[in-house]
Structure 1
């Protein structure tokens, strides 16, 4: 007989999600601090600014999904998807508030990549 996976409760989802968000935001703040220091030292990375920010957000989603899956211990793929959607929406809303012109088709592609990275990170996180 196959053992059925236990159901998850809302409290576990919320605590796991905020735990993952904590790690994701911490990684992004460290990245921004390092970029500011390197720019102050004279390294001009402004030509690659968009790429650096995009990949650092992807790395933050992966790290956050790892932490979320590790904390939840069940349904890591779902926790990773939730974290990726929350982070993607957070940056989308902040970008809109700041006044950035955002192309919805590129935003959906980036959201899809974020969801895939969240799934992988969440699955790896529950297996740690």
Structure 2
């Protein structure tokens, strides 16, 4: 079980860590896109979201308070879905469909991160293959 959870943590966190690198190295381009989507203070928002992605992704990957890391990812994913993928605002059917797919993807990942939070916080130190136990205890 421990190895399966570790493989899952690796696969899950890879997306967020790679995205964090993009946020932190291509800030200007990403801020331009964020501005076009109506995000206020786009540069700080992109940098802040990059930090959230990196902290959450590394936390889950390394098993350092992985429950907290999962919550950080939820804090990134839900506002991103609403602000960046507001499909209900699109008038072009193709653009609407693409934004709906991205919105649903972000919400599904947020759901998975919430499940990971619950799992880690419930199982606690019995999980194994982590550097620390959970920060929260909902056992």
Give the TM-score of the pair, scaled to structure 1. 0.32
Structure possessing the higher relative contact order (Cα contacts under 8 Å, 6 or more residues apart)? 1
TM-score w.r.t. length of structure 2: 0.30
